[in-house]
Chain A
Amino acid sequence: AQSVSQHNHHVILSEAASLELGCNYSYGGTVNLFWYVQYPGQHLQLLLKYFSGDPLVKGIKGFEAEFIKSKFSFNLRKPSVQWSDTAEYFCAVNLDSGNTGKLIFGQGTTLQVKP
């Protein structure tokens, strides 16, 4: 079965530290890839997405992610985190391009940024 795996369950960083959250998926076909963020008490929000083209995608709030097809990975990065980045981060995969809302989620990573 298709799955999405996030390697880090809980990450604690100090402000200004660099961030990289791992995401791997298991599916050999064409995929659409997403990173979502959920701030405490708020909706899931889209950080960035990859459909095709340049494998390095830039999202909101200084986040970026790189799609490496050979590694089935879509890792999220940010050069310098802020306290306001404290949130839950979810990697997600869409396997059905005709049904873009149908997502398989990773288990999520809780990011805690210390001021």
Chain B
Amino acid sequence: GAVVSQHPSWVICKSGTSVKIECRSLDFQATTMFWYRQFPKQSLMLMATSNEGSKATYEQGVEKDKFLINHASLTLSTLTVTSAHPEDSSFYICSAPQYVEAFFGQGTRLTVV
């Protein structure tokens, strides 16, 4: 199957700083990618749809100024958590569809201290 790589796998940052997470489709092109957030013991919640060459589409309740998404190429989408706070600590997962299946990255564990 297709491979989606996410980097970094985990990151610890200080409160107030920004963190960038990358999502790459390694062997296919993706005009659309998706970013999810998962809290402990809870489901994956869709945050936004990343669109290559245009603005991301955010789900209701997701702050677009805090979670900046850039989809600069057909194989790369980035999620930047700006001015991170401890409540932003979570597991972030990206996915990219190929045909009728979505392929997921391994996720990024963000801890804000």
Task: Take A43-B105, A51-B100 as given contacts and tell me if A101 and B43 are in contact as well, using a CB distance cutoff of 8 Å.
Answer: no
Q: Chain B interface secondary structure, helix, strand, loop or mixed?
A: strand
Cβ-defined contact, A100 with B106, below 8 A: no
Number of A-B residue pairs, CB cutoff 8 Å, is: 57
**Residue in B44, B49, B106, B107 whose beta carbon sits within 8 Å of that of A105 in the complex:** B44
Residues in A neighbouring B107, C-beta threshold 8 A: 43
- B72, CB-defined interface residue at 8 Å: no
Interface 1/0 per residue, B69-113 and A, CB below 8 Å: 000000000000000000000000101110111111111000000
Residues in B neighbouring A36, C-beta threshold 8 A: 104
Cβ-defined contact, B101 with A90, below 8 A: no
Cβ-defined contact, B102 with A100, below 8 A: yes
Residues in B neighbouring A43, C-beta threshold 8 A: 4, 103-107
Cβ-defined contact, A103 with B102, below 8 A: yes
Cβ-defined contact, B100 with A32, below 8 A: yes
Report B97 CB to chain A, min CB distance, Å: 3
The complex places the Cα of A90 from the Cα of B105 at a distance, in Å, of: 15
Cβ-defined contact, A44 with B104, below 8 A: yes
- B42, CB-defined interface residue at 8 Å: yes
The complex places the Cα of A43 from the Cα of B91 at a distance, in Å, of: 12
Cβ-defined contact, B42 with A49, below 8 A: no
Cβ-defined contact, B42 with A42, below 8 A: no
- B34, CB-defined interface residue at 8 Å: yes
B1-21, CB < 8 A from A:
1, 4
**B residues lining the A interface (CB < 8 Å):** 1, 4, 32-34, 36, 41-46, 49, 93, 95-97, 99-107
Instruction: Sample 13 A-B pairs with CB under 8 A, ordered by A number.
Output: A9-B41, A36-B104, A43-B106, A45-B104, A49-B100, A51-B100, A99-B32, A99-B49, A101-B33, A101-B102, A102-B46, A105-B36, A107-B42
**A residues lining the B interface (CB < 8 Å):** 4, 9, 32, 34, 36, 42-46, 49, 51, 90, 99-108
**Smallest CB-CB A-B distances: 8 pairs:** A101-B97, A44-B104, A101-B102, A107-B43, A105-B44, A105-B43, A100-B97, A43-B106
